[in-house]
A and B are shown apart, each in its own frame.
Chain A
């Protein structure tokens, strides 16, 4: 079972600031990394996936991966109140790895 650890929250940031979320994983063979956003009382939705070392940007979101350090992060730039949610880090092997391992999540609150 892959272990996935996320920085404990909650994380409170002012509107317009950068929110930084961190995630470490135990299985060095992990190949695929995901960030899911979950609003209170709702189901998770995929917002970012990253497979190679470095940065991947999508709008205001940037995922960063460092496989040597077994570390993946998510930056939310220009944070908006609508970004207030719990963010789950998930890890898998290659496409034949059926299962995702999830972290416990970091709750982000954006203050207006």
Chain B
């Protein structure tokens, strides 16, 4: 199993550009999450999903959108990128029936200039 994969690893965006951060998991987990982590800070939840077709806002959803058309994929869309969105983005998944443990992807480092 590849676990949780994220692409790209690094990206530089100009202000106002848009992009999609990809996240996929092959563990058949129902729950998936998007976090951002700013330097010296903990993880802030952006959006989460409890299954295909079901998404909900987390703590810091403004400027982002998500969709969950399949169990495996949970892309995060940035519209009109702003410098405040410079961060490291982590996707995670969890087997809702078994454990709390969230499995994290390797992260995407995004810079908006």
Question: A residues near B, CB below 8 A?
Answer: 1, 4, 32, 34, 42-46, 49, 88, 92, 95, 98-100, 102-105
Contact = CB atoms under 8 A, between A and B. Distances in A.
Interface in B1-50: 31, 33, 40-45, 48, 50
Nearest to A49: B100
B90 A44 contact: yes
Contacts of A42: 106-107
Interface residues of B, number: 21
Given A44-B90, A105-B42, 6 more contacts: A43-B107, A95-B96, A98-B50, A98-B96, A99-B58, A104-B40
Q: Is the interface of A mostly helix, strand, loop or mixed?
A: loop
Contacts of B100: 32, 34, 49, 92, 95, 100
A46 B102 contact: yes
B43 A44 contact: yes
Contact of A88 (B31, B43, B105, B107): B43
Contacts of A43: 90, 104-107
Nearest to B59: A1
A4 B41 CA distance: 12
Contact of A99 (B41, B48, B96): B48
